[in-house]
Amino acid sequence: MASGYLITGGLHLDGLMDTFDGIFAGKKRRLKAMKDSKVGSFGVQALVFITLIQIACILKIQTQIIFVLPICLFWGRFSNLFFIEKFKYMSYKNKSISHKKFWNGFKKESLISIIFLLIFISYQLVSITSQAILIKFFILILVGIFLSYFIPNILGNKIGGFNGDACGASVVLVETAILFMHSILL
């Protein structure tokens, strides 16, 4: 977990905290709360709960983490493609650069990710020998697709669009939810 925080500079966690502060600030103060450089109590609570859930899941998964972590990271980042495709960009400033400015549509943006996913699935189909593990694998793929669409959809509807903070929150929430599902099914 710490290495992920160091690699990203805590960017996604900051987005998580800002998004939760914004959601609980109310509709009129949402963007102002998300823009505020100070973290509010809801942001701190979100960080603590997510971190505790991740630690518990990692302790449960243990040696399977090498298999599980790339899947969680993949779906967390893939979720932003759904987010950007479906929702309008919300900005704190008038001159902010939108993620959609360079957006080529979901099909083009997701092509490399889908190719990677198909290669991964093909490899797993060849290497999995147990029918029970194969069924769990397909369930987890379906769960990944569902959560990477469902979580940004909830966030987008709740805050009325997307921005960098909401995208970061989506990454963390999807990664954590998929990590949780793996810990239940493994």
What SS3 state is found at 89?
Answer: strand
The set of residues, in sequence order, having a beta carbon less than 8 Å from that of 181 and lying 6+ positions away, is 140, 143, 147
The set of residues, in sequence order, having a beta carbon less than 8 Å from that of 43 and lying 6+ positions away, is 16, 17, 18, 20, 21
The single-letter DSSP state of residue 39 is -
Q: Which pLDDT value is given to residue 143? A: 93
Q: Which pLDDT value is given to residue 94? A: 58
Kindly state the tokens that stand for 127: 């290497």
Is the pTM above the cut of 0.95?
no
Percent composition of the chain: helix, strand, coil (DSSP 3-state, to 5) = 80, 0, 20
d(Cα 182, Cα 186) in Å, to the nearest integer?
A: 6
The single-letter DSSP state of residue 91 is -
Per-residue pLDDT of the chain (186 residues; tens, 9 = 90+): 788 888 888 999 999 999 999 999 988 888 888 888 899 999 999 999 999 999 999 999 998 888 888 889 999 999 999 999 999 888 766 555 666 778 888 999 999 999 999 998 898 888 888 888 888 888 888 999 999 999 999 999 999 898 889 999 999 999 999 999 999 987
The single-letter DSSP state of residue 105 is -
Q: Which pLDDT value is given to residue 42? A: 95
Q: Which pLDDT value is given to residue 167? A: 93
Kindly state the tokens that stand for 113: 């990710």
